Chains A and B, each alone.
Chain A
Amino acid sequence: MSRFLRKHAWVSGLAALLVVLLIVTKLIQPSFGASGLESIARAALPFAFATAGMAVVVIVGGIDLSVASMMAVCAVTAAVLMERMAGIPALMIVLSLGLAMGLINGALIVLTRVPDIVVTLAMLFVWEGAALLILESPGGATADWLEHAIRGSFVFDGLPKALLVIALGIAIIWLPIRRTKLGLSIYATGSDERAAFRSGVAVGRTKIAAYAVCGLFCAMGGLSLAALTGIGEPVPGPYLMASVAAVVLGGVVLGGGKGGLLGPIIAVFILRIIRTILTLLAVDPNVTTIIEGTIMVAVVMLGTAASLRGARR
């Protein structure tokens, strides 16, 4: 048990923080309940998928600056397609599009040997441009069932469908990978690329796969944007910096090899709920920016300090 806690200290700490924040919210606004949870879960939807994608590439030792742009491409594609054809095939097309974009990112990184950050910085513009070419201005429409899939609660109040979508989406993709050799290779490559190569890992293919998974998550993020707004917007939202922040907050080490997806997802919820609290408190929005920045830095500072003390082995 203590071993478990030590190994998962960071994630457990985050989960505890989340619970505390939920209680604080309830104290500030006694009427906060199922609908509040539901709206937080819905708000977290695109962030969660962007963060999951980012986390996977950070674990493999890279970074993907093009997540927000890929989400925009997928959102507009979904909106354009669903206006014209049945929802399910459109959904499939969007998911494969995300996968394909991720594959392209990964392949370019491996083939050109240009560092990840440069390739994805360039692809940020390429995908952003692609989104504008697909849809010049906001428009299109999404299937109704897609909107309903993320609205309301599942079975009982207090279990938002959006939360379920996040859990399922990530579990279906990540858990199988995590269990196979690919997952192991992803961690190995991120931890020490040379040692991984010498252990027989196909380093290049592993990286490409990780970026493809990231693309797939971005497709889900784009779909959730389309589902939330009912249209497609070709301008990338603020998901890049937010996902990097959540990934680091969630205990995934930039540089690779460490961490999982649970921590970052909890971090996403923490960041969302902080915004809710600040709105409920009617804090001046300029001050809100200051507080958000401070909290982000403070949490990481505290965590770093705590883990430094813990690491005195």
Chain B
Amino acid sequence: MTNTALLDASGVAKSFGAVRALTDARLTVAEGEIVALMGANGAGKSTFVKIITGALKPDAGHVLIRGKPAPVGSPAEARRSGLVPVYQEPSLIPDLDVADNLRLTSTPSDPFRHWVSELGITDLALSDMICDLPLATLRILDLARALAAEPDVLLLDEMTAALPTDLVDRVLKTVRGKANDGMGVIYVSHRFTEISDLCDRATVLRDGQTVGDLDIEDGVEDRVVELMLGQKLDLGQRAMARTTFPQGQTPRLRVRTLAAEPKFSDVSFDLYPGEVLGVVALEGQGQDELFDVLAGFEKPSAGRVEVDGKPVSFTHPADAIAAGLTFVPGNRADALLSQRSVKENIALPFSARPANWGPLNRRHERARVGYAIEKLQIDTRAQGEVQRLSGGNQQKVTIGRWLATGVETLLLFDPTRGIDVRTKRQIYPLVRELAEQGAAILFYTSELEEVPLACDRAVVIFNGRVVDVIDGAEADEQTLMRAAYGLTAAEGAA
């Protein structure tokens, strides 16, 4: 490792109207170094990444590459200067196929293909349309495209937030390998495990300002969190109080041999009131479609769903909502009215039915919305339009909507995607609290370590089937991981 700073950004400031996203952000990366860029939701990480890569123009600040001022006026210029980003949202063109997306950025296709398979995607054709591909694959393609451009500095903004565990491992391994070859990496993430595995150094942003620069070593986590939040946070409340279930009770949601060919073929489980049931699955095991079916977006091809003992079938999400099933999707872009205010986003379900098309009950609305904002501590500085919130705060709004409406059965699909530690630690108790108040919760998460923190039990889905049910008490990461890879199933069969 040499001491030349590959990239040196300093004094960067940026305001969006009244919101000062960055005031004095600094960052350096040396050759072969992986620097974590950390900060709470809304600290300004993404804004910083966008400025370094030319997607946004800063109000002030310099970017030096190898000690010289670099032209980064636009993403194309930054790319030529050797700075290649993977933004938090997929930046591939939805209506073009993979090959055309490569041509657009003049990315050679052979190295691209190499990286795609290296990163664990095997079934990709260059003629696939981007809009037909799942989110996780898009993230991988974005990364493979960036790697194929042979960047000097790679910037990854919450690259792994939407990835299942197996792909995360591949990504970390690959990035480490490239860093060993001398590439500099800026790595934005809220996941401490990844950061301590991967990074050499952490730069911490708080309220738009760089407040610290630490080497990664044992026990650095507490220090980082302290810097991030400006206060100490009690970490690691692992085991939760568990309720026991009266066995004779009718389940809130009973799913029997449910199938939506070819995505999943045999899913059965019971979800009781007061229970949080985890769903453990690797990418593409049919969990997306399972949630879609339960939420009324898709029709099952076979099987039965009962709510409180009565069979139901949904032709529209409104039917599911009427039956008490509410859904927080994984992709927040699907759930948000990006140009509307936080209030309107949260209050949307209030006026869904024609009976409620009349005058708004504004007092009720204000109270409910206020309750949700407070519960989730949504940063509403930029509340006029949800798209101006930081990604994490947008995610909170999608959950807040059902918190305000009141829940019977909540289908949470990866709700902690891109949410900072503090908020995560607020979300698990919140989920538990809802359950204790009688809600039934189905909880899929791509971060396995969350399962024991929030769930009473977990069903394991592999290859479109429920292969195992694990009790929360025994659900350590190791067990879950083996189950997710279908290993327990194999043993069971043997």
Contact = CB atoms under 8 A, between A and B. Distances in A.
Chain A in direct contact with chain B (Cβ < 8 angstroms): yes
Interface of A: 181, 184-185, 187-188, 190-192, 194-202, 257-258, 313
A192 to B, nearest CB: 6
29 contacts: A181-B104, A184-B103, A184-B104, A187-B93, A187-B96, A187-B100, A188-B96, A188-B104, A190-B95, A191-B93, A191-B94, A191-B95, A192-B93, A192-B94, A192-B95, A195-B91, A195-B94, A196-B104, A197-B55, A197-B75, A198-B91, A199-B75, A199-B91, A199-B93, A200-B75, A200-B104, A201-B76, A202-B76, A257-B96
A259 to B, nearest CB: 9
Q: How large is the interface on B (under 10, 10 to 19, 20 to 34, 35 or more residues)?
A: 20 to 34
Contacts of A313: 132
A192 B87 CA distance: 15
B182 interface: no
* 4 pairs of A and B residues whose beta carbons are closest in the complex: A200-B76, A257-B95, A191-B95, A198-B91
B137 to A, nearest CB: 15
Interface string B368-396: 00000000000000000000000000000
Contacts of A184: 96, 100, 103-104
Contacts of B61: none
B315 interface: no
A202 B74 contact: yes
Nearest to A191: B95
Interface string B89-106: 011111110001101110
Contact of A187 (B55, B95, B105): B95
Contacts of B100: 184, 187
A192 B85 CA distance: 18
A187 B92 CA distance: 12
B79 interface: yes
A191 B55 contact: no
- Residue among B79, B96, B132 having the largest count of chain A Cβ atoms under 10 Å: B96
Contacts of A257: 93-96
Interface in B55-89: 55, 74-76, 79, 85, 87
Contacts of A185: 104
Contacts of B55: 197-198
A56 B412 CA distance: 42
Contacts of A258: 95
Interface of B: 55, 74-76, 79, 85, 87, 90-96, 100-101, 103-105, 132
- Residue among B94, B103, B104 having the largest count of chain A Cβ atoms under 10 Å: B104
Chain B binding surface SS class: loop
A257 B92 CA distance: 13
A102 to B, nearest CB: 23
Nearest to A3: B127
Nearest to B87: A198
A199 B105 contact: yes
A198 B95 contact: no
Contacts of A194: 91
Nearest to A259: B95
A185 B74 CA distance: 15
A211 to B, nearest CB: 20
Contacts of B76: 200-202
Nearest to B97: A7
A136 B100 CA distance: 49
Nearest to B55: A198
Contacts of B103: 181, 184
Nearest to A190: B95
B48 to A, nearest CB: 15
Contacts of B92: 195, 199
A195 B95 contact: no
Nearest to A189: B93
A154 to B, nearest CB: 35
B461 to A, nearest CB: 20
A202 B104 CA distance: 11
A184 B105 CA distance: 10
- Residue among B93, B100, B104, B132 having the largest count of chain A Cβ atoms under 10 Å: B93
- Residue among A197, A198, A258 having the largest count of chain B Cβ atoms under 10 Å: A198
Contacts of B104: 181, 184-185, 188, 196, 199-201
Nearest to A59: B95
B79 A191 contact: no
B441 to A, nearest CB: 29
Given A184-B103, A195-B91, 7 more contacts: A188-B104, A191-B93, A192-B93, A192-B95, A194-B91, A199-B93, A200-B74
B94 A200 contact: no
Contacts of A198: 55, 75, 85, 87, 91
Contacts of A190: 95
A46 to B, nearest CB: 29
Contacts of A199: 75, 91-93, 101, 104-105
Contacts of B95: 187, 190-192, 257-258
Nearest to A188: B93
Nearest to A193: B93
A187 B100 CA distance: 10
A49 B473 CA distance: 70
A77 to B, nearest CB: 37
Contacts of B74: 197, 200, 202
B2 to A, nearest CB: 29
A202 B74 CA distance: 9
B96 A200 contact: no
Nearest to B100: A184
Contacts of A197: 55, 74-75
A197 to B, nearest CB: 6
A143 B87 CA distance: 57
A57 to B, nearest CB: 16
Nearest to A198: B91
A313 B298 CA distance: 10
Contacts of B132: 313
A197 B56 CA distance: 11
A297 B234 CA distance: 63
- Residue among A194, A200, A202 having the largest count of chain B Cβ atoms under 10 Å: A200
Contacts of A202: 74, 76
A182 B94 CA distance: 17
Contacts of A200: 74-76, 79, 104-105
